[in-house]
Each structure stands twice: as structure tokens, then as C-alpha cells.
Amino acid sequence: MPGNGATQARVLGLDAKDNVLVALTDLRKGETVSYLGNEYVLLSDVTAKHKFLTQDVSAGGDVIMYGVLVGTTVESLRRGDLLSTRNIRHAAASFHETEVAGPHWNPPDVSAWANKTFLGYHRDDGQVGSRNYWLVLPLVFCENRNLAVLKQAFEEELGFAAPQIYRSQVAELARLYREG
């Protein structure tokens, strides 16, 4: 959802169908936040990366984020209320209920590069290869730690991790401290 000025930098809307906004900075109870021409009075403190409702939702009502159902409310909540694990429960629409537009892609005209080469390598079977780069984007902020753990596991197992030169020294310090 596009922004409309400096006040937009404080919150983020992810899809036009959403009934939540994400706080990009710490917001305080009673504060008025503007987004896309609407004003929301916060009914609770909302810390950065947390969400609040943009409309009243009855108990058992849908919480929509990314344009899809992500939860249902445990109790009636009002516009400006903080969403937390205390007042919502995870929920998801069945795959067949989710509106999914089929992919539409117009491939670019690549004829200008038909006779070009690249800095790759030739495999024994005649195919070519290039370096692989993976881009992993968490859909929620709370997954950042899990991604860091996954990155570390790949780096260590594939031999790209920096050596842990201080690990044994810290272990020795901890052992000496425990022994007094």
C-alpha cells in the first residue's frame, strides 16, 4: 500500500485488504497515527514491529494481513487496539478458499543477448553453471532469528563460516569462573 508523506514512515500497510497496520517505530497509547488519509487513535502502546487494528472486529472475527486470513479475535477488539497472542489466535483460510490469481508473466525480449557469454563455468556434462545466491525474506519480523540460525547452519556445514577462534577461550574462561 503506497505511502503519502512523512507520517507514513511510522506505520506500514502490507495489502489493501488488511485490517491491521504494522508499527515501524514505538507508538504510544492515545497517539493519533495517520495512514492513507485515515487517522487511528491507539488504544494501547504499540511497540515497533507489532500490529494494531484499523477497524472494529467482533469476537471470532477475522484478522487479515498480507491480504489473507492470519488469525481470529478471541474477544471484541476496537480500531486502534494492539494485536497480541492474548487477543488473537492463529487461523488460515483453506487453500481452495484463498483467491489466487494465476501467474502472468510477459518474458522480456532477450534476443539482444543471444550471442553473449557470461562468467560461469562449464560442467562435465556440457551444461553451464553460475554461482547461486539465495534470497530469503521473512514474512514476519519474528522469523529473523530463525533465519540467522539457518544461515549459520549452512555456512558451517558448507565450510564458509568464519572460524570460531574465541569459542574455546570463552569456554575456558567460563570453566575457570565456575571453579572459582
Topology annotation, domain 6-97: 2.30.130
Better-scored residue on pLDDT, 62 or 126: 62
80-137, pLDDT tens digit by residue?
Answer: 999 999 999 999 877 655 566 667 788 888 888 888 877 788 889 988 888 777 777 7
- Of 38, 28, 30, whose CA–CA distance to 7 is shortest? 38
Q: Is the pLDDT of residue 50 over 90?
A: yes
pLDDT of residue 5: 42
Mean pLDDT estimate for the chain: 86
**CB distance 50 to 23 below 8 Å:** yes
Residues 6+ apart with CB under 8 A from 64: 15, 17, 18, 19, 20, 70
Cβ-Cβ contacts under 8 Å for 11 (sequence gap 6 or more): 21, 22, 23, 24, 27, 33, 35
- For residue 27, pLDDT beyond 90: yes
Could you tell me which residues come within 8 angstroms of residue 69 by beta carbon, excluding any fewer than 6 positions away? 62, 63, 91, 92, 93
The yes-or-no verdict on residue 1 having pLDDT over 60 is no
Domain spans, the chain: 6-97, 134-180
